[in-house]
Amino acid sequence: MSDAIQAVIADHAIEFVDLMYTDLLGGWHHLTLPASRFDERLMAKGVGVDGSSVIGFRATKAGDMVLVPDLASHFLHPFSEHPTLCILGNLVDVGAREGFPRDPRFVARKAELRLAAEHPGVDSLWLPELEFFLFDSVEVWGQTGQAGYRLTSAEAGVVGGEPEVPTVSAHRKSYHAAAPEDRFADVRSEMCRVLAKLNIPVKYHHHEVGCAGQVEIELGFLPLGRAGDAVALAKWAIRMVAEQYGLLATFMPKPLFGEPGSGLHFHQYLVRDGVSVFFDETGEGPLSPLGRCYVGGLLHHGRALAALTNPSTNSYKRLVPGFEAPVRLAYSVANRTAAIRVPGYARSGEDVRIEYRPPDATCNPHIALAAMLMAGLDGIRRGLDPGPPLSGDILALPPQQLAAVPALPASLAEALDALEADHDFLLEGGVFTEDLLTTWIALKRAEAKDVAERPHPREFELYLGV
């Protein structure tokens, strides 16, 4: 592989090599080397990193780490003015020379190894649906005595007119909207063109339900580790392309009151020799007993999973009744009000799968993917069959029947409480560690406290005259 990298550097007259990695919460970091320095020794041994300066990694007294290039992950930088080769890196403990337990890519690799150990010959495949908003402008301000935001979208006003502040709309008319209502088809096509350069497959793109610039790019099926890389890189590339068009792309789950939120749904299934092991032509869905138990694991651990798949205070402004985002931990066939949907159009051994709908893109994709797989494997291991799928609108069930369906957490704090109480399934095989989860919970509790302590503009409307 090192010879192949050197060939790419020579063939494309590469001047710089960019080594990229994410912190525990999913934010990108990078360092750039002159291509002349990227020799055999550096490829094998890596480059030093100060882990104490990266969110969620190390204390200052033990900050030294090594970033080892994953040479198979290389791609040409699509935005740099100078010819640059990007390579993702794996973080390594400087003393033990083994994977760093808080490195998200390492967690994803360990989850894949756990699957292989428990089910030899079986792989997992994942298809992420990236929903996001494109705004013409965003202003945010907050300090003692004043706070607010202003989002503008030309789609929220007269097409071709000046951008306006979005208002509550008949939003369902915007789903798969065509031009001129859809202003962003070319923008999305350019995003997909860039994703192809990053070796990220795209299934399709379209306008989403939200009228004020909500869109979706659906990626192709990928193995778990590559799917984590693809989501993290896609978010980066989408933001960069939007900026080139004078727009701001946000994956914030609920940026607009009264409009649909943005999720990160994950289609997923286990496969052996090209056939879904979730498939049973005699089963409901048609899900196999193994597939139902995988579903049972996701539902059983769904409240704890939320702390990793929906890890922001804003996440829980999306998970509310009245939109397509789920609020109850149930599964159903061809029903988008359930936490798990079995697609009604996927009926053969090649494509029977499930769609887990609660997650949003504030998650670290490597962490979220690994956690979902571990929940599913726990369901298989323990035989957690969820029973027959629910039918109809879950929220329209009689109160007594609805009360029997577990609810997703209503806040980040509630989700973190659930993770503290239910996380042994994540520790199986050392995929997650107590240290990683303790660090995650501490970081997220600090976020929740930071938001909770600040007066909200709506509170002034409600209480200023009390």
Annotated catalytic residue 50: yes
**Predicted pLDDT at 170:** 55
Would you state the pLDDT for residue 318?
96
**Does the predicted model carry a pTM greater than 0.85?**
yes
Contacts of 301 (CB under 8 A, 6+ apart): 375, 378, 422, 425
CA distance 433 to 444: 17
In 3-state terms, what secondary structure has residue 222?
Answer: strand
Residue 358, pLDDT score? 97
Active-site entry in 229, 355, 360, 378: 355
Q: Which residue positions in the chain have pLDDT lower than 50?
A: none
Q: Is 164 a catalytic residue?
A: no
Render 41-84 in DSSP notation, one character per residue. Answer: HHHHH-EEEEGGGSTTS--GGG-EEEEEE-GGG-EE-SS-SS-E
CATH assignment of 117-463?
Answer: 3.30.590.10
What's the confidence (pLDDT) of residue 343? 87
Q: Which of 50, 186, 350, 385 is catalytic?
A: 50
Q: Please count the other Cβ atoms lying within 10 Å of the Cβ belonging to residue 222.
A: 21
Q: Convert the pLDDT of each residue in 100-130 to its tens digit.
A: 999 999 999 999 999 999 999 999 999 999 9
pLDDT at 35: 95
Among 339, 342, 365, 338, which Cα is nearest to 352's?
A: 342
Please report which helix (H) or strand (E) contains residue 182, including its range.
none
Residue 289 in tokens: 């007993």
Pairing, β 123-135 against β 222-223? antiparallel
Alpha carbons 323 and 317: distance in angstroms, whole number: 11
Which residue in the list 23, 70, 155, 216 is annotated as catalytic? 216
Q: Does the active-site annotation cover 355? A: yes
Name the active-site residue from 357, 360, 366, 378: 357
Closest CA to 305 of 316, 297, 313: 297
For 89, the token pair is 């890196």
Contact (Cβ atoms closer than 8 angstroms) between residue 411 and residue 379: no
Per-residue pLDDT at 397 = 81
Task: Give the span between the Cα atoms of 129 and 89, in whole angstroms.
Answer: 25
Q: Give the three-state DSSP class for 444.
A: helix
What is the sign of the dihedral through the CA atoms of 450, 452, 453 and 459?
positive
pLDDT tens for residues 326-381?
999 999 886 777 899 998 777 778 889 999 999 999 999 999 999 999 999 999 99
Burial of 259 (0-12, 13-18, 19+ CB in 10 A): buried
The reported pLDDT for the residue numbered 59 is: 66
Catalytic residue flag (residue 265):
yes
Query: 2-100: which CATH number, 3.40.1190.20, 3.10.20.70, 3.40.50.620, 3.40.50.300?
Result: 3.10.20.70
Alpha carbon of 359 to those of 71, 163, 309, 325, 350: distances in Å?
Answer: 30, 30, 5, 9, 25
Q: Considering only CA atoms, which of 383, 118, 125, 114 is closest in space to residue 269?
A: 125
Q: Where are the domains of the chain?
A: 2-100, 117-463
336 carries an active-site annotation:
yes
> Can you say whether the dihedral through the CA atoms of 388, 406, 378, 374 is positive or negative?
positive
Concerning whether 216 is annotated as a catalytic residue, the answer is yes
Q: Are the C-beta atoms of residues 228 and 104 closer than 8 Å to each other? A: yes
* 365-382 helix and 104-118 helix, angle to the nearest 10 degrees: 20
Candidate list 70, 103, 131, 136, residue with the active-site label:
131
